Amino acid sequence: MSLAVVNNIPDFHQDRLVGKRNLVVRLGRQRGVYLYLALSAAGLLTALIGALTGVFPFWCWLAVLAGLPLWLSSAEAAWTTWDTPRKFIPAVKNIVLCYGVTTTIFAAALLTGIR
């Protein structure tokens, strides 16, 4: 969900002009940034809490550890460039990388099943 939201932020003006009513158009770009950061942080926290409580294999916390620097980089870019679509691209790139890294490591940890 956070990937869908973050991808709509640079397209805000075009989407609004053609009548699209996605969440970013409804909320505005700055609130869209809050939403995408909250959703992506919730995903990371779910993995961390699940690993620490035993719901997921313990090694799933490595997914959070690996993804956190990319999430922070994306958040920093988003906070400073949300109103400039071309400059916002690093925020999108880093959250996509964060998703790829965390889901790969998380899936590997699940597949090994090491508790």
Is 80 a residue whose pLDDT tops 90? Answer: yes
Is 81 a residue whose pLDDT tops 80? Answer: yes
**Whole-angstrom distance, CA of residue 83 vs CA of residue 86:** 9
CATH number at residue 100: 1.20.120
Give the pLDDT score at 113: 76
Give the pLDDT score at 115: 64
Average pLDDT of the segment spanning 18-31: 94
pLDDT band at 99 (very low <50, low <70, confident <90, very high): very high
Average pLDDT of the segment spanning 30-58: 95
Residue 92: phi and psi, rounded to 5, are -65, -45
Give the pLDDT score at 114: 67
Average pLDDT of the segment spanning 5-32: 93
Average pLDDT of the segment spanning 45-67: 94
pLDDT band at 56 (very low <50, low <70, confident <90, very high): very high
| pTM as predicted | 0.89
The domain total for the chain is 1
Q: Is 71 exposed, middle or buried (0-12, 13-18, 19+ CB in 10 A)?
A: buried
